[in-house]
Amino acid sequence: MKRLFSALLLASGLFSQILVAQTQPASQSQSGSSPTTSHAAQPPKPNCTDNGTYVNSKGQTVKRPETCASAPQGATAQCRDGTYSFSRSRRGTCSHHGGLAHWL
């Protein structure tokens, strides 16, 4: 019984040291980034694939849906396949892209 208790005590001590070691770099990076909060207010420009444009039913030139890490500026919807749509009309938005996931 003493061995089990000693093993549990040792394991909990090692585990707590691992947790402390993992949380320290995160807090240091947060404190190091505080002087540059003005950059954090502006979201980074998402890396997108440029798929060109198309002419919609109203004769307007619109960007084709793009695959991006996050919603790009001007996107109006996210499609079910993960692409972002720039559609200016609700009809047909995200067709050929699995349908509409949600409006932005």
Q: With contact defined as beta carbons under 8 Å apart, do 65 and 51 qualify? A: yes
Amino acid at 88: R
DSSP 89: S
pLDDT in tens, 35-71: 554 555 555 566 888 889 989 888 989 899 999 988 9
Q: What is the mean pLDDT of residues 70-90?
A: 90
The radius of gyration computed from the CA coordinates of the chain, to the nearest angstrom, equals 24
CA 66-45-71 angle, to 5 degrees, is 45
What are the boundaries of each domain within the chain? 2-40, 43-104
Amino acid at 42: Q
**Banded pLDDT at 94 (limits 50, 70, 90):** confident
**Banded pLDDT at 80 (limits 50, 70, 90):** very high
User: Which residue, 84, 86, 55, is CA-closest to 98?
Assistant: 84
